[in-house]
């Protein structure tokens, strides 16, 4: 048997705070939206096999503005001519709204900082994001520098940023600092280097500073990160003028949890990408994070009400794909194929309509699909061989207006599942309706009624005189009494067809989805111990009932 036991090869490369930091555990949920910064055009773009062109970045940028992002990291202008050109295009063509800040990234190196400030010259609102690596692994293996030397890199970069802002007169610029690889850094050292940078920048209420604490590489369970964030928030200098930001990556698949717990621990801001795109396993998925808040009744301050359009633009310009079952945005995220799930959803929808409830409590659907631009019909109930009568009946009712009796829905469900199983494919609504029509509706073979006349008798009974056309072309005329029109027709057909059956179920309703006034009737008969169903549709309710009866008779084996 194979083993993955490599004892001693891996160690936990993170560090707990020097004391217990668990105040965040007392909070139930994230009760307000953070400041959001999209890094789709930087982190997201640099992770693409084929980076976005200038035109594609501009299209995506405009969509990010539509969604409501007020801070957008647009690139590393000193590292790429394309990113420099993109930055200048936004500024020179006045494409940055007054209430939006663009964010640019720079390493703590003088020529890069200088080029960065040249790129943002004339911008009304900008964030210059300075970073350098601080983790034990980076200090020892990459830079081979002491803690003091690493602090000096950060402080010298902070001083240069302040110098160039003053020299270039860019007083509209605010600063951001990231101790990159924060999760692999001792919290005490991360605090020391952040405070050293803050001492240089001297944040004020009018000019706050962003301290970004990234999960550059995810190393721990989310609660560890939350404790680290709480420690930083409680001990950071100038805290009232500092915006604590999170930038979680997803190496362990916990970026959303890291973000949520980090916000509980005191963070104010999130950097991420719309669908989690980024290096390795990606950044935090802002769609998921924001919509999680939304389903708790919290306004995320971002508008994802047209999710299909966002997905279409994202997939086209990034050449990436939103996974079908990705939360909130995936093509199949609301789709239920399971019969029990479909039945519960259909009943939940009906309950909501009956109660006229504004609250959303439908089983298996934590979110109303319409809130993100999706539809109930075709998005929620999807039919294959795993589906049940509840889902199939729900779809037939929503799409075409037919409300089947419970037992008929069961019979129809087996028929639909049989077709899907045979095809090894999902069935579309039109295919399901076709099965319904072929199996039950207005069937005229081997028998059809071409004429029916009724007479009211003195004893209250009805006499029906029926002309039946057989598949052979023969016409047969028969007459019988009954306690109503339908019963009289049934008795007449029993005689002319020499059949013994019992009328068991009769239901009817108006066809609400049809433009004209039509009625639909459903009938079941029992013959030799077996039940047969039929449906009739006509503008005359009497005729629709007669057609349903004939359809049921025509289904007899």
Question: What's the mean pLDDT in 519-536?
Answer: 96
Please check whether residues 269 and 346 belong to one and the same domain. Answer: no
**pLDDT at residue 263 tops 70:** yes
Coil, helix or strand for 267?
Answer: coil
CATH number, domain of 458, equals: 3.30.160.270
Please check whether residues 166 and 292 belong to one and the same domain. Answer: yes
Question: What's the mean pLDDT in 515-533?
Answer: 91
Please check whether residues 527 and 394 belong to one and the same domain. Answer: no
The closest alpha carbon to 252, from 39, 21, 18, 14, belongs to: 14
Residue 1's pLDDT band, with cuts at 50, 70 and 90, is low
**pLDDT at residue 91 tops 80:** yes
Place of tokens 């970026």: 255
Residues in contact with 10: Cβ distance below 8 Å, sequence separation at least 6, in sequence order: none
Report whether 247 contacts 211 (CB < 8 A): no
Domain-located, residue 330: no
Domain-located, residue 2: no
pTM score, whole prediction:
0.84
Q: Whole-angstrom Cα distance, residue 171 to residue 149?
A: 30
Please check whether residues 309 and 354 belong to one and the same domain. Answer: no
Domain-located, residue 327: no
Domain-located, residue 23: no
Q: How many structural domains does the chain have?
A: 3
Please check whether residues 179 and 314 belong to one and the same domain. Answer: yes
Domain end point (choices 410, 438, 466): 438
Domain-located, residue 159: yes
Domain-located, residue 270: yes
Domain end point (choices 380, 407, 438): 438
Question: How far apart are the two ends of the chain, measured CA to CA in Å?
Answer: 57
**pLDDT at residue 479 tops 70:** yes
In tens, the pLDDT along 280-332 reads 999 999 999 999 999 999 999 999 999 999 999 999 999 999 999 999 999 98
Domain end point (choices 438, 471, 489): 438
Report whether 307 contacts 373 (CB < 8 A): yes
Please check whether residues 117 and 146 belong to one and the same domain. Answer: yes
Please check whether residues 154 and 65 belong to one and the same domain. Answer: yes
In tens, the pLDDT along 195-205 reads 999 999 999 99
Give the per-residue pLDDT at 380.
75
**pLDDT at residue 513 tops 70:** no
Domain-located, residue 4: no
**Domain assignment of residue 406, given as a range:** 339-438
Q: Whole-angstrom Cα distance, residue 256 to residue 35?
A: 15
Please check whether residues 294 and 349 belong to one and the same domain. Answer: no
Please check whether residues 353 and 372 belong to one and the same domain. Answer: yes
Give the per-residue pLDDT at 396.
87
In tens, the pLDDT along 214-235 reads 999 999 999 999 999 999 999 9
Please check whether residues 257 and 222 belong to one and the same domain. Answer: yes
Please check whether residues 430 and 456 belong to one and the same domain. Answer: no
Determine what percent of the chain is predicted with pLDDT higher than 70. 98
Domain-located, residue 477: yes
Give the per-residue pLDDT at 378.
64
Please check whether residues 124 and 249 belong to one and the same domain. Answer: yes
């Amino acid at each position: 048997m194979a083993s993955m036991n490599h004892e001693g090869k891996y160690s936990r490369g993170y560090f707990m705070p020097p004391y217990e930091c668990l105040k965040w555990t007392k909070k139930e949920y994230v009760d307000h939206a953070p400041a959001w910064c999209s890094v789709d055009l930087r982190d997201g773009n640099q992770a693409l096999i084929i980076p976005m062109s200038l035109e594609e970045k501009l299209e995506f940028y405009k969509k990010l503005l539509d969604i409501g992002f007020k801070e957008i990291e647009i690139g590393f202008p000193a590292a790429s001519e394309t990113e420099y050109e993109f930055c200048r295009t936004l500024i020179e063509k006045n494409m940055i709204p007054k209430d939006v800040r663009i964010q640019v990234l720079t390493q703590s190196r003088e020529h890069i900082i200088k080029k960065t400030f040249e790129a943002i010259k004339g911008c009304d609102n900008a964030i210059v994001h300075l970073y350098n690596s601080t983790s034990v692994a980076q200090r020892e293996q990459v830079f081979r520098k002491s803690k003091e030397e690493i602090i000096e890199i950060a402080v010298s970069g902070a001083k240069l940023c302040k110098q160039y802002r003053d020299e270039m007169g860019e007083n509209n610029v605010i600063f951001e600092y990231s101790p990159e690889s924060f999760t692999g850094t001792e919290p005490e050292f991360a605090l020391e280097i952040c405070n050293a940078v803050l001492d240089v920048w001297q944040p004020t209420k009018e000019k706050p500073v962003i301290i970004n604490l990234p999960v550059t590489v995810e190393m721990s369970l989310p609660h560890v990160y939350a404790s680290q964030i709480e420690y930083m928030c409680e001990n950071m200098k100038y805290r009232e003028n500092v915006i604590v930001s999170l930038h979680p990556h997803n190496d362990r698949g916990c970026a959303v949890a890291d973000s949520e717990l980090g916000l509980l621990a005191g963070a104010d801001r999130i950097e991420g990408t719309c669908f989690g795109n980024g290096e390795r396993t990606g950044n935090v998925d802002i769609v998921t994070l924001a919509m999680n808040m939304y389903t708790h009744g919290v306004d995320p301050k971002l508008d994802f009400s047209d999710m299909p359009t966002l997905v279409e633009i994202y997939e086209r310009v990034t050449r990436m794909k939103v996974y079908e079952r990705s939360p909130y945005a995936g093509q199949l995220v609301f789709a239920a194929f399971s019969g029990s799930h479909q039945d519960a959803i259909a009943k939940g929808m009906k309950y909501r309509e009956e109660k006229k409830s504004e609250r959303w409590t439908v089983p298996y659907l934590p979110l109303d699909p319409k809130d993100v631009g999706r539809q109930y019909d075709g998005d929620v109930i999807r039919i294959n061989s795993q589906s049940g009568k509840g889902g199939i009946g729900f779809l037939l009712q929503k799409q075409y207006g037919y409300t089947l009796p419970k037992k008929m829905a069961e019979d129809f469900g087996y028929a639909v599942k049989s077709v899907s199983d045979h095809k090894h494919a999902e069935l579309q609504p039109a295919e399901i309706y076709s099965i319904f029509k072929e199996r039950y509706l207005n069937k005229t073979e081997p028998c059809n009624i071409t004429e029916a006349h009724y007479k009211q008798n003195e004893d209250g009974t009805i006499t029906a005189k029926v002309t039946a056309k057989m598949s052979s072309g023969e016409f047969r005329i028969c007459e019988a009494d009954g306690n109503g029109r339908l019963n009289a027709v049934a008795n007449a057909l029993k005689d002319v067809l020499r059949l013994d059956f019992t009328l068991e179920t009769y239901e009817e309703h108006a066809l609400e989805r049809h433009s004209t006034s039509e009625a639909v009737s459903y009938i079941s008969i029992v013959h030799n111990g077996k039940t047969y169903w039929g449906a009739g549709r006509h503008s005359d309710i009497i005729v629709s009932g007669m057609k349903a009866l004939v359809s049921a008779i025509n289904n007899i084996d």
